[in-house]
Homo-oligomer: A and B are copies of this chain.
Amino acid sequence: VQNRDKSKPSIQGTIEKALRKILREKIRVIGSGRTDAGVHALAQVANFYTNSKIPLAKLQYGLNSNLPEDVVVTAIERVRQDFHSQFSARSKVYRYTLLNRTYPSPLLRDRVYMVSYPLDLGLMRREAKCLLGEHDFASFCASGSNAKDTVRTIKRIAINKTCPLPLAPCYPALVTIDIEADGFLYNMVRNITGTLVEIGRGNFPKGSMKRILAAKNRRLAGPTAPACGLALVKVRY
């Protein structure tokens, strides 16, 4: 879980501190990219260099024993020295999870965004198709961003009803939006999601996504969906 709150230590700093304690040398960890405050990371990747000969399983166990309960190292492996978790990445997958019903879920609070209006998933899928491929995604880039190049390539968008959740017999109300791209602009997934929700609710006319994309104007897109529903689920190399 990534939770980059300025008043709290960063995940990176927390891991570096634990590594320093175990390996007894100063370690600089390089992550695959930042995630916003409140966004979850289920599969963040980071690399670092060490002279230590500690067995990897022992290092992983030691790290997890020294990390707070909201940070966990799920796997650890040796890589080539030219591996760079950010620059070697071919694509990333983000998942946005909506709870599409009229009452919240205590067990999933801070993990999903509740949308109480009915959503037309078929319409959302048809409108989302135009986002596939290489485009200038300026319309979905946060206005505060200083990205010079707003061209990215979306490789896949999948909108699904997901069921079941192992902790409950069934949560038919969950809708996931998976987006895989070679890179993401600031708030890009949350802005695309906010736009898709407006479309699914019937607030935007047919063909809106295509028009919004072509306009390269953030003000035409829907609102930014809240951070809590977003998770980095995969980094591909």
Q: Which A residues are within 8 Å of any B CB, using their own CB?
A: 1, 40, 42-43, 60-61, 64, 69-74, 95, 97, 102-109, 111-112, 162-163, 165-169, 171, 174, 176, 231, 233-234
**In the assembled complex, how far is the CB of residue A211 from the closest CB belonging to chain B, in whole angstroms?**
31
User: Given B40, B69, B104, B171, which contacts A109 in the complex, CB threshold below 8 Å?
Assistant: B69
Cross-chain contact B233 with A169 (CB below 8 angstroms): yes
Of all A-B residue pairs in the complex, the 3 with the closest CB atoms, nearest first, are: A162-B166, A1-B106, A70-B106
A169 and B42 CA atoms in complex are apart in Å by 9
Other A-B pairs beyond A60-B103, A111-B167, A167-B231, 11, CB < 8 Å? A1-B107, A40-B167, A42-B168, A61-B102, A70-B106, A71-B106, A72-B103, A108-B167, A165-B165, A168-B233, A169-B233
Minimum Cβ distance to chain B for residue A22 (Å): 15
Distance of A162 Cα from B43 Cα, bound (Å): 20
- By DSSP majority rule, is chain A's interface helix, strand, loop, or mixed? loop
A109: chain B residues at CB < 8 Å are 69-70
Contact A69–B231 (Cβ < 8 Å): no
| CB–CB B103/A107 < 8 A | no
Distance of A163 Cα from B166 Cα, bound (Å): 7
Q: Does A104 lie within 8 Å of B72, measured CB to CB?
A: yes
Give chain B residues whose Cβ lies under 8 Å from the Cβ of A166.
Answer: 97, 162-163, 165, 171, 174, 176
Q: Show 25 residue pairs from A and B whose CB-CB distance is below 8 angstroms, ordered by the A residue.
A: A1-B107, A40-B107, A40-B167, A42-B107, A42-B167, A42-B168, A43-B169, A64-B103, A69-B104, A69-B106, A70-B106, A71-B106, A72-B106, A73-B103, A74-B103, A107-B111, A108-B167, A111-B167, A162-B166, A165-B166, A166-B171, A166-B174, A166-B176, A167-B231, A169-B233
Closest to A166 in B: B162
Docked CA distance A231–B169 (Å): 11
**A72: chain B residues within 8 A (beta carbon):** 103-106
What is the CA–CA distance of A43 and B171 in the complex, to the nearest angstrom? 12
* A42, A61, A69, A109 — most chain B CB neighbours (10 Å): A42
